[in-house]
Structure 1
Amino acid sequence: MFFGLDFASPLFWSAFGSIMIANIVLSGDNAVVIAMAARTLEPHQRGKAIFWGSAAAIVMRIILTIVAIQLLSLPYLKMIGAVLLVYIGVDLLKGEDNGDESGQEISGMMAAIRTILLADLVMSLDNVLAVAAAAKGNLPLLVLGLLVSIPLIVFGATLLTKVMERFPIIITIGAALLGFLAGEMLLTDPAVTSRFGQIAEQTVTFGGILGAVLVVALGTYLQKRGKSPVTGS
């Protein structure tokens, strides 16, 4: 036994495997955000931003998992999260041109890490419940499972940044994913369900589609406006 973990027990490995699988499957959208946030950085900065952003996000997710059930019952929390996801999606799709000066590079990397943390915080509200359920209340097991998953998430995000360079359409798909999640979060907020009752799954899906369209349309508009020559103030 080590910190309450019995490595010789089949139950340990079963639960550990469940945590790993749940975290990998549920972190797919997070990897997309990490890759999108790091794509505008210089190549030598991307690895650092992806690693530190992912590591900090996992630590934050551990803390979030402990209080997730209580948090998800709070009204308006998902609404706030939905607004944040729309903002993040539009901002990432719009993109920004960073200068070559070292100060601007450092600022760009810190901005990418902040974006990764904020997006992971919002998007993990639902995800952590499944991971917590897989841990069956064993906190050391939960922490171990999430920490071991860091290299997998980092690898996935690193691979995605390379793919995005060749296929920019993936950036738009990633932004649409954030909008879709935002629409779903909005319609499943306790404040909405307490007033209108449980929203039908088809309606929630339609809300997600509207959110995806909103993010892509607004992000594309701002992107084109930023590239157009501006006259006047």
Structure 2
Amino acid sequence: MPEIFSAAFLSALFAIVLIDLVLAGDNALIIGLVARNLPKEQQRKVIFWGTFGAIAVRGLMAILVVYILNVPGFMLAGGLALIWISRKLLTPDENAADAHKGPAPATSFPAALRTIVVADAVMGIDNVLAIGGAASGSIVLIIMGLIISVPIIVWGSHLVIRLVDRYPAVILLGGAVLAWTGYSMIVREPLLMTWLAAHPPARFVIAVLVFSLSLAPWWSERLSRKMQPLVVLLPGLLVWLLAFEVAIPYLKGSGGVLATDMGSYLIQAVRWLGWLPLAAAYILLRERAAPRTVNAPSRP
């Protein structure tokens, strides 16, 4: 532990301030986006309790982080949770006028607080690890790092609410931050790291898949009707390719389908062309269903 006010202590404190500015900003962004459509008095409550929850979660994780990271599947589950939160954040409000649809943030205090706590619990891992590393085991520095993050989150949350009112595209930024954090957690999952090291292209496929799923609600509202099937087809194609990346090693070897040249050619043909009839069937069914929805007779 560095001596208080020594050069090492001040250097570590400066590093923690920089870490808070970068990582606590994510929490402020999420709190601001979730709370933006609540009444003003509830916005203050959500920001206060959301900040309290973020700090409480980080404090708990600072104690338990070593054990949490050893739980099989925790990083994968956290990454998938962030994809769900991103989609929820960007899903259009069905109650809004069609011409002015906007993303549907939480409309009640409990729902907003629940979303914020889940996001903080998942995203707080990076913050705890970064601050813990910079503090070099100093409890004083860890506590100071948590205290410093409070005004950053509170001020940042108010700033985000004001920015969203003027620049709605900030909502997309929040979804992208969640998507990137979710991807980072998934590829750091210990259960997948060995497999990903042996299949480098899978990282790129997972990255595109995560961003496609996370941001799909935003783009589906802005694409033309003819382009909207891409919101389903792109993630579907990526899942198809990933499935083959997982399955092919099991098909190799003696007695496997890939043991012969003919079997290998057949598998590769299915891998690269097999998705086309499925995509065509989806588009056809979608086109057949659309007229019944659009031209349904209105009731008097």
Aligned amino acid, residue 211 of structure 1: V
Give structure 2 stretches of 5+ with no counterpart.
Answer: 96-105, 224-292
Residue 59 of structure 1 and its aligned partner are, at CA, apart by: 1.8
**SS in structure 2 of the partner of residue 75 of structure 1:** coil
CA 1:19–1:218 in 2, change beyond 3 Å: closer, same or farther?
same
Work out which of the residue numbers 14, 36, 41 in structure 2 matches 1:39: 36
Letter of the aligned partner of 1:80 in structure 2?
A
The two structures have a TM-score, normalised by structure 1, of: 0.79
Deviation per CA, 1:53-82: give whole Å up to 9, x if none. 012211210221222233223321111111
Where relative contact order (Cα < 8 A, 6+ residues apart) is larger, the structure is: 1
Aligned residue pairs total 217
Other-structure match for 2:75: 78
Distance 1:208 1:28 in 2: 22
Q: CA deviation at 1:205?
A: 5.4
How far apart, CA to CA, are the structure 1 residues paired with 2:189 and 2:145? 29
- Label 1:30 to 1:199 Cα distance change in 2 as closer, same or farther (>3 A): farther
The equivalent position to 2:13 in structure 1, one of 4, 11, 16, is 16
Aligned residues of 1:77 and 1:189 also touching (Cα < 8 A): yes
- In structure 1, the residue matched to 2:111 is 111
Query: What residue is the counterpart of 2:59 in the other structure?
Result: 62
Map of 2:137 onto structure 1:
137
8 Å Cα contact 2:72/2:191 also seen in 1: yes
1:27-77 deviations in whole A, cap 9, x for unaligned? 222222111111121122212211220122112102212222332233211
Aligned in 2, Cα 1:195/1:212: closer, same or farther, shift over 3 Å? closer
User: Which range moved further: 159-168 or 202-211?
Assistant: 202-211
- State how 1:184-195 maps to structure 2 within 5 Å: 184-195=184-195
Give 1:177 shift.
2.3
Return closer, same or farther for 1:36/1:199 CA change in 2, 3 Å cut-off.
farther
Superposed counterparts of 1:59-208, under 5 Å:
59-94=56-91, 108-197=108-197, 200=200, 204=203, 207-208=206-207
Q: Please report the RMSD computed on the Cα atoms of aligned residues, expressed in angstroms.
A: 3.2
Partners of 1:69 and 1:219 in 2: CA distance: 36
